Amino acid sequence: MIRMDISKTVFVILLFVFTLGETTRFDLGNSIFVKLTDFIVVVLVLAWLVKEIRHRKRDSGQGTYRMTGSILLFVFIALISLLVNIKNLSNSEFIVSFFYLARWVLYALLYYVVKSFSSEFKKKIMYILLASGALIVLFGFIQYFFYPDLRNLYYLGWDEHLHRMFSTFLDPNFAGGFFVLYFIFLAGLFKYQLEKRGKLAMLIGIVSLFTLLAIYLTYSRSALVMLFVSSIVFLGFIKKVRWIIGLIIISAVFILLTSKSYYVENTNLFRIASVKARLDSAKIASKIIENNPVLGVGFNSYRYAQIRYGFESRQNVFANHAAAGTDNSFLFILATTGLLGLFSYLYLLFVALKQAYIVYSKTRKSVGINICLSIIVISSLFGLFANSLFINSLFYPIVMAWMWILLGLMVNK
């Protein structure tokens, strides 16, 4: 029996609270928005720090030092970008921007929190993730059938999504991105259960089918692109490339069955309004990048830069959630931290991929959870790379939490 310390208890609470998504979002004023998960992450990190200080444990694990260096490099450049641009920001704007950087650091620390847990507890985390992800999918189906219209929340800054699954994320694109991450996680867990002839294989298979359907019901093209990229990588690693044909057939059948809904803009997979919006967003980001190529406008002061450049009014920029960033994650990094920030973030992604591949190389001939986790992480990162070209998924809190947790699970102490 595992003795639950405070950090483990808070961590389990976190995994279930983040199923509530954006429904626990609070406005603290001065354009500061926080979610209940943010508060829990703060408590979790503090509890973990107290435990680490008491035991004075030395940081270890495959690739941990390199991961720490890449994280610190990005944080350093992000902080420098903010300090360099302090003259363009009021005191409150600087504090708000710094808050977003602090939140990124807190979520990154989840990697170390999870890494510090015992192997026995890490296995339990895998099944808690299975349950919490299933809840988000369940909430998605409940929302899809009983709350299909988000237009009544337009005044709060949410887009007018209609007849699409957005679950507790209140956005079908981010929901779709998470569903893909969860689907790949289920695929890895399903592989592990089959190899050890576990009793949960059938249950995981059923949840996987519902998750796949949930991805399609978001009508998110960015999620579909992510699904194909992640699936191709995953199936390539487990040498089931022929299954890609099955995925293509399922997608084609779904497109044919839903083609009658294409007269509605929201459910038309060939809609052009969102394409135009993304192109306009990219043009704005490109203009800001052109004038701030080295260190950007400061992380994360993008909304204030839009006001200075006349792309947004002060009134609209705080009413619109999307005004805090641009649709493309890499353009967002370029705009806020410049070329130096982009290179440092790409290096961070490279280190994460390399760490996952090292684990895969060491465990490829074995039957265990680590090899499955390494394939899940690699497939998820490639999929996220593709997805982040269309939405700012790399900096979406729940996506960040999910990926840092997976990375921490993969690394042994």
pLDDT in tens, 267-318: 666 677 777 888 888 999 999 999 999 999 999 899 899 888 888 766 555 5
CA–CA distance from 250 to each of 21, 26, 50 (Å)? 29, 39, 50
Total tally of structural domains belonging to the chain: 1
CA–CA distance from 27 to each of 23, 125, 160 (Å)? 12, 31, 20
46: containing domain: 6-410
What does the alpha-carbon distance between residue 149 and residue 143 come to, in Å, rounded to a whole number? 9
Answer whether residue 1 is part of any domain: no
What does the alpha-carbon distance between residue 296 and residue 292 come to, in Å, rounded to a whole number? 5
Continuous H helices in 85-152: 91-108, 110-115, 119-146
250, pLDDT greater than 90: no
Strands 25-29 and 32-35: antiparallel
Q: Give the three-class secondary structure for 170.
A: coil
Q: Give the three-class secondary structure for 34.
A: strand
What does the alpha-carbon distance between residue 262 and residue 264 come to, in Å, rounded to a whole number? 5
The two three-digit tokens of residue 186, written as one number? 């289920």
Please, are residues 159 and 45 in contact by the beta-carbon 8 Å criterion?
Answer: no
Share of the chain above pLDDT 70, in %: 85
Answer whether residue 133 is part of any domain: yes
**Using alpha carbons only, how large is the chain's radius of gyration in Å?**
21
Stretch 136-162: mean pLDDT, rounded?
77
Task: Please state the separation of Cα 50 from the chain's center in Å.
Answer: 27
Q: Read off the DSSP letter of residue 4.
A: P
Answer whether residue 372 is part of any domain: yes
Please, are residues 24 and 35 in contact by the beta-carbon 8 Å criterion?
Answer: yes
pLDDT digits (tens, 9 = 90+) for 74-89: 999 999 999 999 999 9
What does the alpha-carbon distance between residue 162 and residue 396 come to, in Å, rounded to a whole number? 22
Model pTM?
A: 0.91
Please, are residues 207 and 215 in contact by the beta-carbon 8 Å criterion?
Answer: no
Read off the pLDDT band of 324 (50, 70, 90): low
Q: What are phi and psi of 28, to 5 degrees?
A: -90, 0
14, pLDDT greater than 80: yes
Longest Cα–Cα distance of the chain, Å, equals 62
Read off the pLDDT band of 155 (50, 70, 90): very low
Please, are residues 194 and 413 in contact by the beta-carbon 8 Å criterion?
Answer: no
pLDDT value for 57: 59
What does the alpha-carbon distance between residue 209 and residue 190 come to, in Å, rounded to a whole number? 12
Read off the pLDDT band of 244 (50, 70, 90): confident
pLDDT value for 2: 42
What does the alpha-carbon distance between residue 413 and residue 410 come to, in Å, rounded to a whole number? 10
Answer whether residue 109 is part of any domain: yes
Q: What is the mean pLDDT of the chain?
A: 87
Stretch 101-123: mean pLDDT, rounded?
94
Q: 124-133, 310-319, 385-394: which range is least confident on average?
A: 310-319
Q: 163-177, 216-230, 261-275, 398-412: which range is least confident on average?
A: 261-275
Answer whether residue 65 is part of any domain: yes
Answer whether residue 179 is part of any domain: yes
Phi-psi region of 56 (alpha: psi -120 to 50; beta: other; left: phi over 0): left
Give me the half-sphere count of Cα atoms (radius 13 Å) on the Cβ side of residue 142: 8
Answer whether residue 86 is part of any domain: yes
Answer whether residue 94 is part of any domain: yes
